[in-house]
Amino acid sequence: QLQLQESGPGLVKPSETLSLTCTVSGGSISSSSSYWGWIRQSPGKGLEWIGSIYYSGSTYYNPSLKSRVTVSVDRSKNQFSLKLSSVTAADTAVYYCASPRAIFGVVPFWGQGTMVTVSS
Amino acid sequence: DIQMTQSPSTLSASVGDRVTITCRASQSTSSWLAWYQQKPGKAPKLLIHKASSLESGVPSRFSGSGSGTEFTLTISSLQPDDFATYYCQQYNSLLGTFGQGTKVEIK
């Protein structure tokens, strides 16, 4: 059974870069046809896709966040990462890593989620 | 983006009740619609995909129906473990979008 676990700072200052890592166990991040992604949940915006990466390395980003988002894979560590730059209070949310069945598709596997607060 | 609107926002029900939640899309999503259950402090759990296909291990009291722009999630006989918030998600467009959620609470 695939398991995902987020890690990273719980507090980020405004204008800085939010960085999170997701460690995958129970499966290989390089498995063919596998997708990996990030979803966030805030009281104001609900559940929102941030970005997704295909096993080949192709990335797909939410257009509303595209200019600030980078999703990447570290195959040697079986991890993938999220970087969100120039954060504001509006980026305060619970961030989930996920393994969807397609780019921004159905999500059978989720991490437990990590709360990130943007505040000085 | 396709906007997803759920109704009601909150639903009060008793154990044993039949419960129906509606999800409407701003444009057709064909049958590319999923339902999730979320409990406080936990990640969402996938219940149904492709509008009516039950995920493995999900109790048969959960069912989904609909196509195009209107979908429903039905719980045939509400159990104590079912008090939670439910979300729909369309994945017909490149950017999958979620509804705002329906909280099922104890009456």
Answer whether A47 touches B (CB < 8 Å). yes
Residue B38 banded pLDDT, cuts 50, 70, 90 = very high
Looking at the DSSP assignment, which residues form a beta bridge with residue B75?
A: B19, B62
Query: Does residue B40 have a cis peptide bond before it, meaning omega lies within 30 degrees of 0?
Result: no
Element housing A110 (H / E): strand A109-110
Give the span between the Cα atoms of A118 and A2, in whole angstroms: 30
Among A106, A112, A115, most B C-beta atoms within 10 A, so best to mutate, is A106
Summarize the confidence of residues B53-61 as an average pLDDT: 97
Helix (H, G, I), strand (E, B) or coil at B25: strand
According to the model, what pLDDT value does residue B1 have? 87
Summarize the confidence of residues B70-84 as an average pLDDT: 97
CB atoms within 10 A of CB B3: 12
Give me the total of CB pairs closer than 8 Å, taking one residue from chain A and one from chain B: 47
According to the model, what pLDDT value does residue A42 have? 94
Nearest chain B Cα to A46, which residue? B100
Element housing A53 (H / E): strand A46-54
Q: Are strands A11-12 and A114-118 parallel, antiparallel or unpaired?
A: parallel
Summarize the confidence of residues B24-29 as an average pLDDT: 96
- pLDDT at position B60 over 90: yes
Q: Using CB atoms within 10 Å of the CB of residue B40, give its burial: 0 to 12 exposed, 13 to 18 middle, 19+ buried.
A: exposed
According to the model, what pLDDT value does residue A33 have? 83
- pLDDT at position B29 over 90: yes
- Residue of A1, A14, A24 lying closest to A116 (CA atoms): A14
Positions in chain A whose pLDDT score sits under 70? none
CB atoms within 10 A of CB B105: 11
Phi, psi of A91 (to 5 degrees): -90, 0
- Asked if B52 and B30 count as a contact pair (C-beta separation under 8 A), the reply is no
- Chain B residues contacting A via beta carbons under 8 Å: 34, 36, 42-46, 49, 55, 87, 89, 91, 94-101
Report CA-CA distances (Å) from B107 to A67, A84, B8.
46, 42, 15
Question: How close does chain A come to B91, measured CA to CA in Å?
Answer: 5
According to the model, what pLDDT value does residue B16 have? 97
